[in-house]
């Protein structure tokens, strides 16, 4: 089997980030220390009914990652594999919160590898204090005007509050 050398290690961290949570931000910070360049790619999933538009999500991500010079924020609406080819990237970063995440993520990693044999997926375990956290939980708490300040960055909390006021 031929060995592929990737040169500059660009990784893509794909997700909906609706909204970005402290758990996502923890993975972004940690992955930015491992890879030369990290592209946080917001998925424009037309089958979901998001709280924030893709533009709003990318803007929030830019705000909360402004201190990370090797992190780029982008969006895509195609297959992840096609996006990876556009970006000349071969590494996917995925966060794992619990064992229940692993089965789905392993299936996706295997599928991506089948579609493109040069794609590798790196799993990062969530920091224990964020192992329960999901965007869905944040939205549910916020919908009923519960406190989300410990779950999301301050800029995101303000944006969520504005959404549920309006």
Does residue 84 lie within any of the structural domains? yes
CATH number, domain containing residue 87: 3.40.50.620
57, 90, 97, 139: the active-site residue = 97
The pLDDT of 66-89, averaged and rounded, is 96
Does residue 115 lie within any of the structural domains? yes
Does residue 146 lie within any of the structural domains? no
* DSSP collapsed to 3 states, the chain: CCCCCCCCCEEEEEECCCCCCHHHHHHHHHHHHHCCEEEEEEECCCCCCCCCCHHHHHHHHHHHCCCCCCEEEEEECCCHHHHHHHCCCCEEEEEECCHHHHHHHHHHHHHHHHHCCCCEEEEEECCHHHCCCCHHHHHHHHHCCCCCCCCCCHHHHHHHHHHHHC
pLDDT recorded at residue 148: 96
pLDDT recorded at residue 154: 96
Q: Is the pLDDT of residue 85 over 70?
A: yes
Active-site residue, 24 included: yes
What is the spatial distance between Cα 12 and Cα 141, in angstroms, rounded to a whole number? Answer: 29
Active-site residue, 5 included: no
pLDDT recorded at residue 7: 54
pLDDT recorded at residue 166: 61
The pLDDT of 109-124, averaged and rounded, is 94
Q: Is the pLDDT of residue 136 over 70?
A: yes
Does residue 125 lie within any of the structural domains? yes
**Domain containing residue 38:** 10-131
What pTM was estimated for this model as a whole?
0.92
9, 48, 66, 145: the active-site residue = 48
Q: Terminal CA-to-CA distance of the chain, rounded, Å?
A: 57
The pLDDT of 75-95, averaged and rounded, is 95
pLDDT recorded at residue 48: 74
Is residue 94 annotated as involved in ligand binding?
Answer: yes
Dihedrals phi, psi of 65, to nearest 5 degrees? -115, 10
Does residue 164 lie within any of the structural domains? no
Judged on CB neighbours under 10 Å (0-12, 13-18, 19+), 161 is middle
Mean predicted lDDT score pLDDT of the chain = 92
- Tell me the two tokens of residue 27: 């993975």
Does residue 53 lie within any of the structural domains? yes
Does residue 136 lie within any of the structural domains? no
pLDDT recorded at residue 122: 95
For residues 32 and 70, the answer to whether their CB atoms sit within 8 Å is yes
For residues 26 and 127, the answer to whether their CB atoms sit within 8 Å is yes
For residues 10 and 87, the answer to whether their CB atoms sit within 8 Å is yes
Query: What percentage of the chain exceeds 70 in pLDDT?
Result: 94
Active-site residue, 32 included: no
Does residue 142 lie within any of the structural domains? no
| Tally of domains within the chain | 1
For residues 133 and 23, the answer to whether their CB atoms sit within 8 Å is yes
């Amino acid at each position: 089997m031929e060995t592929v050398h990737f040169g500059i290690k660009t990784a893509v961290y794909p997700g909906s980030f609706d909204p970005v949570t402290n758990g996502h931000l923890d993975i972004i910070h940690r992955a930015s220390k491992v890879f030369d360049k990290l592209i946080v790619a917001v998925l424009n999933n037309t089958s979901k009914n998001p709280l924030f538009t893709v533009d709003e999500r990318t803007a929030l991500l830019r705000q909360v990652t402004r201190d990370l010079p090797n992190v780029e924020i982008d969006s895509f609406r195609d297959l992840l594999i096609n996006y990876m080819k556009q970006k000349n990237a071969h590494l996917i970063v995925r966060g794992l919160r619990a064992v229940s995440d692993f089965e789905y993520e392993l299936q996706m990693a295997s599928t991506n590898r089948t579609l493109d044999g040069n794609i590798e997926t790196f799993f990062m375990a969530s920091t224990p204090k964020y192992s329960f956290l999901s965007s869905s939980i944040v939205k549910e708490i916020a919908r009923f005007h519960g406190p989300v300040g410990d779950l999301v960055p301050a800029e995101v909390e303000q944006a969520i509050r504005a959404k549920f006021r309006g």
